[in-house]
Amino acid sequence: MLQDAQILAGWIPQQDREVRLLLDSARFEEAAELFDQVTATAPNAVEGAWNRATVLVHRALNAWRLGRIPTALELAAEGWSELDIDRPSGTAAAQAISMVGSLLDTIGHRSSALELMSRAVAVAREADDPGTLAHCLLRHAHALLFWAVARPEETDVHEQFSAAVKLYEEGLSLADSGLIRRGLLSGGARSLAGLGVTARAENRATEALQLSYEAEDWSSAALAMWVLSGIRHQQGELEEARTFGSRALDCAEKIRDRLLMTRLGLDLATICEQLGDPVGEAAALRRSLAASRSAVRLLQEGLGQALEQRRIAVQAQRSATAARAAAFRDSLTGLTNRFGLERQAPALLEQTLAQGRVPWLLLIDVDWFKDVNDDAGHTAGDIVLQEISQLLRQACRTDDLVCRWAGDEFVVLLVDTSEESQEAGPIVAERIRSTVDDHDWQLVLGHTPQPPTTSIGAAAGPTSLDHLFAAADIALYRAKQAGRNRVEVDRQPLDPGRQATT
C-alpha cells in the first residue's frame, strides 16, 4: 500500500489519492468520509499549483465509484473542458485524457473512450515518462479487454484480445512493481486466456493473485481468480473452477464493481450447473442479477439527481436573468427604465450610425398630469401612465427603444428603419402625439375638462445620449411654451452648452 500511495503523486493531491486507495481496498465508508472532506469547500475546489484538469477528472472517477453520479458527471465535464485536447502535451495531460477515456468507457461511450485512451498513450510516449505510459497503457488495455468479454457479438474478439495483450506486455516492460504492475499482470492474464495461451495466462494470474492479496488489491485479485477459474473450467477441474470463481465474485463484491460482479456471477452459475449444483447455480444467478439491477438503479438514480440538479441550475439562471432584467425595467409600466436606457443607448447609437442612419431621440412629457393626480388621485395617475405606455408601444416601431425616464416623462430612441431616417423622428413623434390625443380617457378619468395629452421634443444627430437628450429637452421646452400637445424638432447644430430655459 505504501508503494501504491505514490501512484499519481506528482499530479494528484495526497487526500485525493488516498480516496482512490481506500476504494481499491474496499474501505468505502472511509473513502466516502475522506471524499467529503476533500470536497467540503466545493467538489471542484483545487488548491495550490496542481493541474486542475487532472485533479478534477481523477476526482470524478472517485465520485463515480462512490455512486455519486451527478458529482462525477459535473467534475468530469469541467475537467474535460479545461483540457487542451487538440494540442495535448505532458504527463498531466496524458493522465487526464486517459482518465476521461476510462470514465467514458465505464458509462458505455466506447468509441470516444478508446479514441481518448489511444491519444493519451501517444501523449505519454512523447512525454517520455515510463510510469505515466504504463498507467495509460493499463487503462487502454483494460478497455479493450472488458469490451471483448462483455460484447463479443459486437467486435472481433481475437483482434481485441491481441491488441490488449500487446498493450499489457508493453506496460509490464515499464512497471516493475505496485498497483499498475498487478493490474497489467491480471488483465494480461485474462487476455492471454481469451487467446487460448493457457500456460502463460496461468503463470501471470498466479503471480498477480499473490501480489494482490499481499496489497489488499481486490480488483486485481478478482481478475486473477477469474482467469484461474476459467482455466480450471477448460481443464475440466470444475470443483477448483467453482472455488476460484466464488472467490473472484467475493472480491468483486468487496470493491462494488457491479459490471464485473454481473459477469463473474454468470460464469460461476455455468460452472455450478455443470457440477450439478442447483443451489450454487441459483445463488450465483441471484448475485449476478442483483449486481445488474443495482448498476441500473444506481445509474437511474444518478441520472435523476443530475436532471434535478440541472433543473435547479436552469431555474436559478432564469431567476438571475429575470433579476438582472428587472433592474433595468420600470415596475409600473413594464418599459425600460432610465438605467436600462443608459446601458443600451451607446450600442444602439453606434449601430445606427454604422448603418448610415440618423439617430433620433424623442423626449415626451405628459401634459396636465399634475391635474390628473390632484383631481382623480394617484391611483388614476398610475393607470394613465400605464395607458400611455401602451399607446407608446403601439405608435412606435418594433425595434424602437421606449423608456420611462422619470415621473411623467418618457424617452424613445429610434433605431428602426421603416421610415426614412432623416424624418423618422418627427413622423413617429406626431404619431405618438395624435394617438394619445385621440385616446378615450373616460373609462379611466370619467368626464374630465382636460384629458392628458403629450408635448414632445425631437432631436437628431451623430452624437451621445447626453447631447441628444439636451437638444430634445430644448425642443420640449418650446413645445410646452407653445401651448402643449404639439411636437417641436431641434434642427440646429448641437452645442453641448445649450440648455433648455425653465
Amino acid at 279: V
Is 485 a member of any domain? Answer: yes
> Does position 7 have pLDDT exceeding 90, yes or no?
no
Domain that holds residue 452: 338-490
Whether the CB-CB separation of 103 and 61 falls below 8 Å is answered with: yes
487 φ/ψ angles, rounded to the nearest 5 degrees = -115, 135
Is 358 a member of any domain? Answer: yes
Angle, CA of 235, 237 and 239, to the nearest 5°:
155
Is 382 a member of any domain? Answer: yes
Whether the CB-CB separation of 249 and 268 falls below 8 Å is answered with: yes
Is 421 a member of any domain? Answer: yes
User: What is the C-alpha separation between 248 and 242, in angstroms, rounded?
Assistant: 10
Amino acid at 354: A
Is 451 a member of any domain? Answer: yes
Q: What's the pLDDT band for 380 if we cut at 50, 70, 90?
A: confident
Which position has the higher pLDDT, 88 or 421? 88
What pLDDT does 5 receive? Answer: 46
> Does position 493 have pLDDT exceeding 60, yes or no?
no
- Render the burial of 120-143: b for 16+ CB within 10 Å, e for the rest: bbebbeebebebbbbbbbbbbbbb
User: What is the C-alpha separation between 221 and 16, in angstroms, rounded?
Assistant: 23
Which position has the higher pLDDT, 501 or 226? 226
Mean pLDDT of 202-207: 94
Q: What percent of the chain has pLDDT over 70?
A: 93
The CATH number that applies at residue 343 is: 3.30.70.270
Mean pLDDT of 3-13: 66
Helix (H, G, I), strand (E, B) or coil at 17: helix
Cell numbers representing residue 429 in the block? 413623434
Which position has the higher pLDDT, 24 or 6? 24
Q: What's the pLDDT band for 416 if we cut at 50, 70, 90?
A: low
User: What is the C-alpha separation between 217 and 257, in angstroms, rounded?
Assistant: 13
Helix (H, G, I), strand (E, B) or coil at 412: strand
**What CA–CA distances, in Å, run from 457 to 328, 370, 481?**
24, 20, 12
Mean pLDDT of 80-108: 82
Q: 466-477, pLDDT tens digit by residue? A: 889 999 999 999
What pLDDT does 329 receive? Answer: 84
User: What is the C-alpha separation between 230 and 241, in angstroms, rounded?
Assistant: 7
What pLDDT does 86 receive? Answer: 63
User: What is the C-alpha separation between 461 and 422, in angstroms, rounded?
Assistant: 10
What pLDDT does 201 receive? Answer: 94
Helix (H, G, I), strand (E, B) or coil at 33: helix
Q: What's the pLDDT band for 502 if we cut at 50, 70, 90?
A: very low
Task: For residue 182, give every residue at least 6 positions away whose Cβ sits within 8 Å of its Cβ, in sequence order, or none.
Answer: 208, 211, 212, 215, 217, 220
Of 435, 492, 434, 418, the closest CA to residue 458 belongs to: 492
DSSP designation for 175: -
Q: What is the total residue count of the chain?
A: 502
Is 51 a member of any domain? Answer: no
> Does position 98 have pLDDT exceeding 80, yes or no?
yes
> Does position 447 have pLDDT exceeding 80, yes or no?
no
Task: For residue 56, give every residue at least 6 positions away whose Cβ sits within 8 Å of its Cβ, in sequence order, or none.
Answer: 44, 46, 75, 76, 78, 79, 82
> Does position 420 have pLDDT exceeding 70, yes or no?
no
What pLDDT does 379 receive? Answer: 85
Four-CA torsion 106, 203, 95, 81, nearest 10 degrees: -10
Is 31 a member of any domain? Answer: no
Q: 278-317, pLDDT tens digit by residue? A: 999 999 999 999 888 887 777 777 677 767 777 777 788 8
> Does position 366 have pLDDT exceeding 80, yes or no?
yes
Beta bridge partners of 453: 367
Q: Which of 155-164, 224-233, 348-357 has the highest mean pLDDT?
A: 224-233
> Does position 154 have pLDDT exceeding 50, yes or no?
yes
Number of domains into which the chain is organized:
1
Q: What's the pLDDT band for 80 if we cut at 50, 70, 90?
A: confident
**What CA–CA distances, in Å, run from 287 to 120, 130, 300?**
36, 39, 20
Helix (H, G, I), strand (E, B) or coil at 15: helix
